[in-house]
Amino acid sequence: VIANGQRGLIEDALIWNLAVNTKIPGTPLTVFATGKNLTDELYVVDRARGILPGSDRSFHGGVSVSF
């Protein structure tokens, strides 16, 4: 590793993500939910332009329509 921190190995990180979806019977709708970085792990993804941290814990959900 050099003093500017732009080269060298990036430490391993175990990141847990989860995605679920289900179609609502009799409708064209699918409900979905995702969670990313469920344990809110602090990790580095890039050092080429300085230290770039990975994403924080996040949750998303929604409904999709097929037609």
**Computed from CA positions of residues 1, 48, 4, 14, in that sequence, does the dihedral angle turn out positive or negative?**
negative
The pLDDT confidence band at residue 18, using thresholds 50, 70 and 90, is very high
pLDDT in tens, 23-59: 999 999 999 999 999 999 999 988 877 788 999 999 9
Largest CA distance in the chain: 61
Say how many CA atoms lie within 13 Å of 39 toward its Cβ: 7
Report domain extents, the chain. 18-65
Cβ–Cβ under 8 Å, residues 15 and 54 = yes
pLDDT in tens, 1-17: 455 556 777 888 999 99
pTM of the predicted model as reported, rounded to 2 decimal places = 0.74
Predicted pLDDT at 46:
84
The encoded tokens of residue 21 equal: 């979806």
Query: Which residues lie below 8 Å from residue 27, measured CB to CB, with a gap of 6+?
Result: none
